[in-house]
Amino acid sequence: MSTEPPQFILPQFGIFAQGTHAHHFLEFDLKPGVDAAEAVAAFRRLRTPDVSAGGVNLVAGFGADLWRSVAPSAAPVDLTPFETINGRDGHTAPAVQHDAWLWLSGAEPDVTWQSARAAVLAVRDAASLAAEQPGFTYRGGRDITGFVDGTANPPVRLAADVALVPPGQAGEGGSHVLTMRWVHDLVAFDQLSVNDQQQVIGRTKADSIELSDAEKPATAHIARVEMTVDGEELEIFRRSVPYGSAEEHGLYFLAFSAERSRYDQMLARMFGNSPDGLRDRLTDYSEPVSCAYYFAPSLNALAEAAGPE
């Protein structure tokens, strides 16, 4: 009979960190000739005071090819790179897939910026920075369209059930990550009346009350992204934040899921590729310009794949 204590699978806790107002997203490509295991080890070493001090949360994700090459037994069967979605009426979701992704979040932008810079310097021998996007919270959790964002999220106490691969499955304790940078056409959206905006979103603007089935169009954003199978809702854990300048601005959509297929179904419904052929009207006013899938492994799998420090 084994006397070894049971091993607890620990997720990356930053996935669930609340109360963060400043965000920094980084994407990397491995440099030519760099060993995949060495690259993962470089990202694992980011959990040092130089990078994660000052209350900054850090979540690391890896592209399907990189993670599977390093930890094939800890890679979910359905882990794949993002593929460009060609939807109805010329609307697309372009794949801009990189090898690794970091999300740093904290209380203030100066601290997250400092940590992001430290992270880039720390992994520069293994990977080069391919994309960077700071983000922020807006008016207490609203998108810059003025509507409350993430209202369909599960409560934090239940979020792990939605976001993490269940015990006993390959990749247990890890999470499928979807990132999408959306650019809003606020000029066009702001020309709509508040009532028309609410028809696009499917919720009231002032107090975020979902419209009744009689009032809510089948093409409303809420109607397209809320999915049920056999009477049960397929949930994802959203952590999106606004970003941008005075000229270009939008939403950095970020979500975590126990299954990649939930994203596939949601995006098919948004872009008119589901059986009903309907498209999310929000895509008339916001356009995704880069999309990717990553896998955020458990701390256990990350430590094992990276080897001893």
Enzyme catalytic residues: 149
CB atoms within 10 A of CB 119: 26
Cβ distance 234 to 228 under 8 Å? yes
Could you say which DSSP state residue 248 is in? Answer: S
**Contact residues for 179 (Cβ-Cβ < 8 A; gap 6+):** 25, 101, 252, 253, 254, 290, 291, 292, 294
- The stretches of 176-272 forming alpha helices (DSSP H) are 186-190, 194-201, 221-225, 261-270
**What is the spatial distance between Cα 131 and Cα 101, in angstroms, rounded to a whole number?**
9
User: Which helix (H) or strand (E) is 234 found in, with range?
Assistant: strand 232-234
User: Which helix (H) or strand (E) is 68 found in, with range?
Assistant: helix 64-70
Show the tokens assigned to 99.
């090898």
